[in-house]
Amino acid sequence: MIPEFLIEQLNNQYGQELTKQILEGYNKKRNTTLRVNTTKTTKENIKTILDEQNIKYEDVSWYEDALILEEEKNLRELDIYKNGEIYMQSLSSMIPPIVLEPKREKILDMAASPGGKTTEIYNLSNKEALITAVEKNPIRADRLKYNLNKQGTTATVLLSDASKLDEFFRFDKILLDAPCSGSGTLSIQDNSLNHFNKNLIKNSVETQKKLLDKALQILKQNSTMVYSTCSILYEENEAQLEQLIKQNKIEIIPINEELFKNIPTLPTKIPGTICVLPNELYEGFFVAKIKKI
């Protein structure tokens, strides 16, 4: 069951019609989606193998390396999965690294495990980004290292609480895909609703604020970062940034809407940011590009 407090919160934020669409999204089973690991192979090679396995797929208009499978298949049995030539990843979570526009520069992935976005950053930079990936949980850090190795991604992994990183660090760009309540990924198809409560939201907001403060401390002046969450709730998204805007610490760099024009979105209170509507293809996701003033 979807908690009543969440339905009320969504109604207050988005209105009844959009809330109805969000709740319908929670009820839908999401398609399997993947990203081609261009460090190891090409999209043409992956398509050839999928054709041989009689696995039907669709391209994604806004991302050359992504594919949507028309039906659920156990790709984990195929060599292309075992060898790290593909990465099982939701479409929404592929957006932040694209918005980051990584190049040959020092990049911090502040909450990196399990490594999907880290490996995507590496691919998008043509294997030139100098990446530091942070994870504070030892088990999750081991998983991160495993995935980076499997995908052929070169990165430095720090076992640390990202909110307590040494203030003498300096980065050209930062991706903060912050821990959140997961309000955009809720589904009646799994047990995610069992763990969703008000305390989860409250604790997430506190963690996000600490991570944002640290990110702005170690991001170079006039440099950019991407802040994202898999939440669709105002207090975890725009509210976090509005405080920093008022304090004249950041300005918003508008995301190119044309690039993502085929993605279903929800209205946001900050122009130039994106909030993805959850449905059968997409998880609910918030993405903002920020410049440190």
pLDDT value at position 149? 97
pLDDT value at position 193? 79
DSSP 236: G
Q: Show me where the domains of the chain are located.
A: 4-30+92-292, 31-89
Residues 6+ apart with CB under 8 A from 165: 134, 158, 214, 218
Q: Cα dist. 17→186, 207, 214, 264 in Å?
A: 18, 31, 38, 14
180 has catalytic annotation: no
What is the architecture of the domain spanning 31-89? Answer: 2-Layer Sandwich (3.30)
- How many other C-beta atoms are found inside a 10 Å radius of the C-beta of residue 35? 26
- How many other C-beta atoms are found inside a 10 Å radius of the C-beta of residue 274? 24
- How many other C-beta atoms are found inside a 10 Å radius of the C-beta of residue 1? 6
Exactly one of 230, 233, 250, 276 is catalytic; name it. Answer: 230
pTM, rounded to two decimals:
0.96
Q: Cα dist. 102→96, 113, 167 in Å?
A: 11, 18, 22
CA distance 131 to 153: 9
CA distance 106 to 124: 14
pLDDT value at position 1? 82
**Mean pLDDT of each 10-residue bin along the chain, 293 residues long:** 94 98 94 96 97 95 96 87 97 98 98 96 98 96 97 97 95 98 90 86 98 98 97 98 96 94 96 97 98 95
pLDDT value at position 54? 94
CA distance 19 to 15: 6
pLDDT value at position 202? 98
CA distance 286 to 228: 5
What is the architecture of the domain spanning 4-30+92-292? Answer: 3-Layer(aba) Sandwich (3.40)
Q: For residue 181, what are its two tokens?
A: 């309540």
Angle at 243 between CA 204 and CA 174, to 5 degrees: 65
Residue corresponding to tokens 């209105």: 15
